[in-house]
């Protein structure tokens, strides 16, 4: 690269994949006396980008990559696609990596909601193999659960792991090319214990259920997550108390279909009852948020808490999907316009 190329002075030449700041472009175009300064500034930026290691290049390319360094040599990267529940489960994978990983690993936690999400996952796998040739690549998540053969047949992939199996320590102990994907429909529990997440930030995600009992026409998620399974209230309260002890001020309740929470528990309960219990029993929790809600299942206790308790944030993401009753009926949604 000729860093003295005159085209640099006008901001017209850039390295593929490298964005120019608006300040650089404006300076190069409007102020001739500063063109040389602007060109040098861009040149130094690009040189520093080229000097980075291949590990850091992968981390820079994907904003949804969580890169951790364990206490020893091995390096683990987790690339996450999809919903908040996937991001929560990626934090569990990172925790297991800290404890059990003894080699360089890239975990791609996939999503199956759209074909574009699956395409991006395959692209991430190929990029990871190209830029981290010595690392073991493990593919997991909903797309891997539904179509494991697609990823197993990719020469870049070392192991394919299902949604249940990815939350165990065995994820990092498989040797050779392997597929470990069980029948998610046979699962009746979420997990034995919720691992503690010690990455101290302002907001933490807490899983309260997984899976879905509904079969909307357009949705493939139940085949990747299984039927609805709720976590008992006591475990959720313990996890929230633990997170507050680590310095978190805000908790987001997440899951696949959180408005169906408690339908499989004995005695049967509801999301609104759980929210009330959290706010009453965890008095030092500053803010509580809810992830995506199904408008057909909102209960009266939840509406009452939204109206009376300021610690429950009044921002709701409703899965409306469409604005026409006929379309909603064909989609097998349970609400009307």
CATH 3.40.50.920 fits 203-330, yes or no: no
Please report, for the chain, the start and end positions of each structural domain, with discontinuous segments joined by +.
6-51, 58-182, 203-330
3-state secondary structure the chain: CCCCCHHHHHCCCCCCCCCCCHHHHHHHHHCHHHHHHHHHHHHHHHHHHHHCCHHHHHHHHCCCEEEEECCCCCEEEEEECCCHHHHHHHHHHHHHHHHHCCCCEEEEEECCCCHHHHHHHHHHHHHHHHHCCCCEEEEEEHHHHHCHHHHHCCCCCCEEECCCHHHCHHHHCCCCCEEECCCHHHCCCCCCCCCCCCCCCCEEEEECEECCCCCCCCCCHHHHHCCCEECCHHHHHHHHHHHHHCCCCEEEEECCCHHHCCCCCCCCCCHHHHHHHHHHHCCCCCEEEECCECHHHCCHHHHHHHHHCCCECCCCCECCCCCCHHHHHHCCCCCCC
Stated pTM of the model: 0.72
Q: Which CATH class is domain 58-182?
A: alpha beta
pLDDT in tens, the chain (337 residues): 555 555 554 444 444 444 444 444 444 444 444 444 444 554 554 444 444 444 444 544 555 555 443 334 568 899 999 988 898 889 888 888 877 777 888 999 999 988 999 999 999 999 999 999 989 999 999 999 999 999 999 999 999 999 988 888 777 766 667 888 888 888 777 754 555 555 556 888 899 999 998 888 888 888 999 999 999 999 999 999 999 988 899 999 999 999 999 999 999 999 999 999 999 999 999 999 998 888 888 889 999 999 999 999 988 887 887 888 888 888 888 777 7
């Amino acid at each position: 690269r000729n860093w003295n190329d005159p085209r640099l002075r006008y901001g017209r030449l850039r390295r593929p994949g490298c964005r120019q700041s608006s300040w650089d472009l404006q300076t190069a175009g409007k102020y001739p006396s500063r063109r040389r300064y602007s060109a040098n500034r861009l040149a130094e930026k690009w040189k520093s980008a080229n000097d980075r290691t291949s590990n850091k290049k992968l981390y820079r390319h994907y904003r949804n990559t969580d890169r951790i360094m364990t206490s020893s040599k091995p390096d683990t990267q987790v690339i996450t696609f999809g919903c908040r529940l996937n991001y929560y489960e990626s934090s569990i994978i990172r925790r297991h990596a800290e404890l059990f990983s003894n080699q360089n690993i890239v975990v791609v936690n996939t999503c199956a909601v759209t074909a574009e999400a699956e395409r991006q996952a395959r692209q991430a796998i190929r990029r990871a193999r190209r830029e981290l040739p010595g690392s073991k690549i493990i593919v997991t998540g909903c797309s891997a659960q539904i179509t494991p053969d697609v990823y197993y047949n990719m020469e870049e992939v070392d192991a394919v792991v299902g949604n249940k199996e990815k939350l165990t320590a065995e994820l990092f102990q498989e040797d050779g090319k392997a597929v470990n994907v069980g029948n998610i429909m046979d699962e009746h529990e979420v997990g034995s214990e919720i691992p503690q997440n010690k990455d101290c930030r302002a907001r933490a995600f807490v899983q309260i259920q997984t899976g879905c009992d509904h079969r909307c026409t357009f949705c493939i998620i139940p085949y990747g997550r299984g039927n609805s399974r709720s976590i008992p209230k006591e475990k959720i309260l313990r996890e929230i108390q633990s997170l507050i002890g680590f310095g978190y001020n805000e908790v987001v309740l997440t899951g696949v279909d959180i408005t169906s929470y408690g339908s499989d528990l004995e005695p049967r309960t509801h999301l609104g009852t759980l929210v009330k219990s959290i706010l009453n029993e965890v008095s030092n929790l500053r803010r509580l948020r809810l992830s995506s809600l199904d408008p057909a299942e909102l209960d009266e206790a939840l509406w009452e808490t939204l109206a009376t308790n300021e610690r429950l944030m009044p921002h709701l993401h409703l899965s409306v999907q469409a604005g026409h009753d006929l379309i909603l009926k064909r989609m097998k949604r349970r609400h009307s316009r």
